Structure 1
């Protein structure tokens, strides 16, 4: 794996009506920006750089007098981004020194990547992790609060993803249509379908970030005949389990079908998912870069 990209990944809107690029997003109102909205007659106080000299020359020639036309621009608006995090006990599985996916570290790295992307576009960031809520603010401050909380080594409480989603939904008035909502979870029995339908109805750009271990959740290893220690994510209790080769193949197939079902269900809702199977920040950064590139290709095709 190569080094992490030097620049944060771009926030590419799914729907073209949202604007050009976030950070230079087109607003419905006129103002200072880069994208031309139209022209109008010159008014005292207008900048000389706004004058459309060719249009002014044509109008002056037609009317036989000096007439000036200025360009109007769509106002640039900064993006609003919200991160919703699932911290249920099963999201704490496979921590160090185990060799499998450290989901908690993967989530933290993804949050950092999203925060850097938001900062690069000049936007505000909100954070929902039931019961914690951080209102929209500059990303550096939000990430600083989260880092301080992590280093305090607070024991994780039993949280629910639906509770985190509800924290955001209750404040929907602060998040306009087109707001990026990154939801980080393994999405295994995480929330009822009604929760996702509600999010879609708010017109947000919902991006599920699916964090699953490639070995035990996206698939299942060929460990037939081996006595496995199985941990209950809720209680932490372990028990020994022996599976046959047929049972391990069945579990691998079932886990693969479950993952595909999760991705398909989000696709039907119009959500563009990102799949993460590593806690390495460089690899996670590339996952987000590929997501942005995929969106750009789709937008070019639809243009």
Structure 2
């Protein structure tokens, strides 16, 4: 009876700590007691000899306390990383003395349902796993699913779905040669020459002195030469006049209403396990926006972002490396909310006066093309067509080729309408600087 009480007490303590018995525990306890009981009743020594070791082994395994349930913990990693970066994740496991082994599975973003299983002995404390972030976006980074087993696997805890860790992988930046932007007077300093005179470094003209000019602007060499010609060295002072340096604005308009690939059969379905289709229209648009922003911010321009589907996610123009970081984070937020709006929204107050507007869209509907042509009435607008080409018809329907031809014709008509309304249409972000050099005032 004392052994039975030890067995019941140990099982109750383990149950309160989060452990549960397995079939091996049931077979060991019931089978051992049953064989001993039957052997005593039937006077069968062989049954007793088989049942006693089985019962003793079960009680001995339960005599070692298992303590609390071991919970794997992941060492902190950066909250935001670059696409293509890698790191080594360190998972710490604090198992009690009664734990015989711990099994840890690490599903990753590229393999969300299954992952490599690490089988650790109960005395192990850490496990290391290599992690690489190949695709940009935000989502589940690591999730240590785990299962722990006591002595002889009589008690187990789990399987337990681990705590998810989320991370933001910033869109990659491809070096682009930025082109000139038309300046506008919006700040004290900038990277572009203005038509008006002011403080700057580029010479505009040398002219006679006027009331109100600063004395430090007098060009004494020109003044002396002019005076030598007239016979009075200081009769006509001359001053150097510079072009004022001002800010130029670039506004990137992201079309997050649709995310499509070249395969028409995939347009009505969502890609499993990812927020953005690799190589799709939205992926192309986000990569182009990040590269354009990096190029123009590097030369001192102001860059902003507008989401056609969600105006609240827009980012006002700013300068510097901090603006680039904010813009890349905002691009991830826009992609996370993609496809949830029915029509584009572009408010006039979102675009600063005199700014250059770059539309990044596949132009699959007339409303988006209308928004671009409306903005072209007051701004220089460049459209970057992100629709993957050539489109591939759906082979599972007899109307697949007809649908492809209709979509291609409508898309061509929208591009023609954009050009007719003064919108330059290009297919790659590398062509944007060439357009700006051609239309620079």
TM norm structure 2: 0.48
Change (3 A) 1:291 1:123: closer
Change (3 A) 1:207 1:253: same
Shift of 1:90: 4.0
Structure 2 unmatched ranges of 5 or more: 1-171, 262-266
Q: Cα deviation per residue 1:166-219 (whole Å; 9 max; x = unaligned)?
A: 2xx1244xx122x111111111115166534431232x1111111101032xxx
Shift of 1:84: 1.2
Shift of 1:268: 1.5
Q: 1:140 aligns with which of 315, 318, 321?
A: 321
Shift of 1:119: 0.9
Q: How does 1:184-203 map to 2 (within 5 A)?
A: 184-191=360-367, 195-202=371-378
Do the aligned partners of 2:360 and 2:384 also contact (CA within 8 Å) in 1? yes
Shift of 1:254: 3.8
User: Aligned residue for 1:23?
Assistant: 191
Is the counterpart of residue 242 in structure 1 residue 398 in structure 2? yes
What RMSD over aligned residues (CA atoms) do the two structures have, in Å?
A: 3.9
CA distance in 1 between counterparts of 2:370 and 2:432 reads 26
Provide the secondary structure at the position in 2 that maps to 1:39: strand
Shift of 1:290: 3.2
Provide the secondary structure at the position in 2 that maps to 1:81: strand
Do the aligned partners of 1:82 and 1:128 also contact (CA within 8 Å) in 2? yes
Do the aligned partners of 1:85 and 1:161 also contact (CA within 8 Å) in 2? no
Change (3 A) 1:8 1:192: closer
CA distance in 2 between counterparts of 1:294 and 1:146 reads 23
Do the aligned partners of 2:277 and 2:283 also contact (CA within 8 Å) in 1? no
Change (3 A) 1:100 1:260: farther
Q: Which has the larger radius of gyration?
A: 2
Shift of 1:147: 3.7
User: Aligned residue for 1:208?
Assistant: 383
User: Aligned residue for 1:105?
Assistant: 283
CA distance in 1 between counterparts of 2:360 and 2:335 reads 21
Shift of 1:101: 3.4
User: Aligned residue for 1:73?
Assistant: 242
CA distance in 1 between counterparts of 2:248 and 2:342 reads 27
User: Aligned residue for 2:416?
Assistant: 264
Do the aligned partners of 1:27 and 1:77 also contact (CA within 8 Å) in 2? no
Q: 1:293 aligns with which of 434, 437, 441?
A: 434
- Number of residue pairs matched by the alignment: 250
Change (3 A) 1:74 1:196: same
Provide the secondary structure at the position in 2 that maps to 1:105: helix
Do the aligned partners of 1:274 and 1:288 also contact (CA within 8 Å) in 2? yes
Q: Cα deviation per residue 1:145-166 (whole Å; 9 max; x = unaligned)?
A: 3444528984535135631x22
Shift of 1:122: 0.5
Do the aligned partners of 1:52 and 1:71 also contact (CA within 8 Å) in 2? no
CA distance in 2 between counterparts of 1:193 and 1:105 reads 20
User: Aligned residue for 1:170?
Assistant: 349
Provide the secondary structure at the position in 2 that maps to 1:259: helix
Do the aligned partners of 2:384 and 2:429 also contact (CA within 8 Å) in 1? no
Provide the secondary structure at the position in 1 that maps to 2:229: helix
Change (3 A) 1:272 1:170: same
Is the counterpart of residue 11 in structure 1 residue 170 in structure 2? no
Do the aligned partners of 1:91 and 1:185 also contact (CA within 8 Å) in 2? no
Q: How does 1:86-101 map to 2 (within 5 A)?
A: 86-90=255-259, 101=279
Shift of 1:10: 2.0
Provide the secondary structure at the position in 2 that maps to 1:76: strand
Provide the secondary structure at the position in 1 that maps to 2:198: strand
